Amino acid sequence: MQKAEIPSIHQEHQVDRNLVEHALDLLEASRTPRDEPVPLKEGLELPEVMPESGIEAKKMLDELASSVLETSAQLHHPGFMAHMDPPTPSVAWVASFWQAALNQNLLHPDVAPKARFLSERLVSWIAPFFGMDGGHFVPGSTVSNLTALWAAREIKGVKKVAASKMAHLSVRKAADILGLEYLAMDSDPLHQWHPDSDSDWTDTALFLTAGTVATGAIDHLKSLPSAPWVHVDAAWAGPLRFSNQYASLLDGVENADSVGFSAHKWMYQPKGAALVLFRDSETAHQAMSYGGGYLSAPNIGLIGSAPASALPLAATLLHWGRSGLSDHLNADMNKAEQLASLIEEHPDFEIWGPCRTGIVVWKPKHFPAAEVRSRLKKAWVSLTQIDNETWLRSVAANPGADPEFVFQQVLEAANIR
């Protein structure tokens, strides 16, 4: 009996170089900075109902490009200094292409034999910077916060969670889902919370923030009172632990029971890459481990089927190294400080407070901030509400941002000479 040869793979699963090159050409054309980094136009040039018949692949890309590539926010634009959403490096794009083509599922070892090991290896690289011994990937810090508080409830029996009023709304969601009482605590004038050592935290998880959404404030992470569980939501500022200049801003994080942070923020990764880390990951994972007859390995945590989101991050870290990531973070921090200096030196502007984690909150003294933002063309900043006042908010997460250019565009929008 002759040995059977492996049949050819399906046509749709073969690499179509012409199609890929056409997609790259369209992407490259869309990278040129536009006059409007964020085109706020309604509508979508796609059918309102699902097409009955398909169209040729290149024509499909051409049609899709006008609805996606040509109208998306240009996060890489020199004038974009607005949100905690960075442009991604090209090395992450190609790794994401591999990820999509391979479509590995971390739920099952036999459909992700190496992807599971890759995720575990990256966790082992990252966890020590936070004083943790392990953890796992999650889609975002909303899930990491929920997972950490779930572990706190299961392991320590916590019944309450206390967090600053400046904490991310995901902590309130997590408390509701887990049936925990939520305690919203006042912060100081700089939006930092220091848990009171005289209070009784016996059955309470302390939820601390390292990088609040509005101002980038870091709660006090040192000299904390006794509590059954301490979680640090470092969704934004967590990556500063990899910086040789700014790691100390998060000193004290190593004393937490759990830490969450988003690699798709200040590690410049595609959306869907975050981690939840534990000081005792074995105990935490056992508390949230589930099995089933269709599983060959336990399902740990909230997520079932999961992509190999560690792959683009692995490519980035292998390419940059820790020092290269540090250089990017340090450069972004310098951009924020440069913008803050321009604001402080100008008599017609005011700054809300110190720039601590790459976020600058500012506004013109004699012109509404919201109107300034609406008149911006070649640059973009975000808005935030603080004490019922609207402020401009600039986030230094774009390595290609030009703070002086952004400032000049705001000057023009505010009719300031």
Residues 143 and 18 in one domain: no
Using CA atoms, how far apart are residues 49 and 59, in angstroms rounded to an integer?
18
pTM of the model: 0.95
Report the DSSP pairing between strands 229-233 and 204-209.
parallel
**DSSP assignment of 219-282, as one string?**
---SSPPP-SEEEEE-TTTGGGGG-TTTGGGGTTGGGSSEEEEEHHHHT-PPSS-EEEEETTHH
Residues 290 and 213 in one domain: yes
Residues 103 and 53 in one domain: no
pLDDT of 297 reads: 84
Residues 97 and 62 in one domain: no
Q: What is the mean pLDDT of the chain?
A: 95
Residues 291 and 407 in one domain: yes
Give me the number of domains the chain comprises.
Answer: 2
pLDDT tens digits, one per residue of 9-51: 998 899 999 999 999 999 999 999 999 999 877 667 788 899 9
Which of 74, 98, 127 marks a domain boundary?
Answer: 74
Inside any domain, residue 5: no
- Number of helices (H) and strands (E), helices first, in the chain? 11, 13
Residues 174 and 28 in one domain: no
Residues 49 and 164 in one domain: no
Helix axes 141-156, 170-178, angle to 10 degrees: 40
Residue 226 Cα to chain centre, angstroms: 30
Residues 42 and 167 in one domain: no
Which of 29, 50, 74 marks a domain boundary?
Answer: 74
Inside any domain, residue 186: yes
Percent above pLDDT 90 for the chain: 87
Average pLDDT for 393-410: 98
Give the pair of three-digit tokens for residue 81.
Answer: 């200094």
Inside any domain, residue 219: yes
Comparing 9-23, 70-84, 283-297, 299-313, which segment has the lowest mean pLDDT? 283-297
Average pLDDT for 219-240: 97
Domain that holds residue 42: 11-74
Inside any domain, residue 1: no
Inside any domain, residue 263: yes
pLDDT tens digits, one per residue of 95-145: 999 999 999 999 888 888 899 999 999 999 999 999 999 999 999 999 999
Q: Do residues 209 and 168 touch, judged by C-beta distance below 8 A?
A: yes
Q: Do residues 142 and 170 touch, judged by C-beta distance below 8 A?
A: yes
Inside any domain, residue 182: yes
C-alpha distances in angstroms, 284 versus 116, 132, 160, 275? Answer: 18, 12, 18, 14
pLDDT tens digits, one per residue of 247-268: 999 999 999 999 999 999 999 9
Residues 136 and 195 in one domain: yes
Which of 25, 44, 74 marks a domain boundary?
Answer: 74
Residues 38 and 114 in one domain: no
Residues 45 and 89 in one domain: no
Inside any domain, residue 405: yes
Inside any domain, residue 156: yes
Residues 118 and 254 in one domain: yes
58: which residues sit within 8 A by CB, 6+ positions away? 18, 19, 22
**DSSP assignment of 82-115, as one string?**
-SS-PPPPHHHHHHHHHHHHH---TT-GGG-TTH
Q: Please report, for the domain that includes residue 144, its CATH number.
A: 3.40.640.10
Which among 166, 226, 158 has a CA at the least distance from the CA of 196? 226
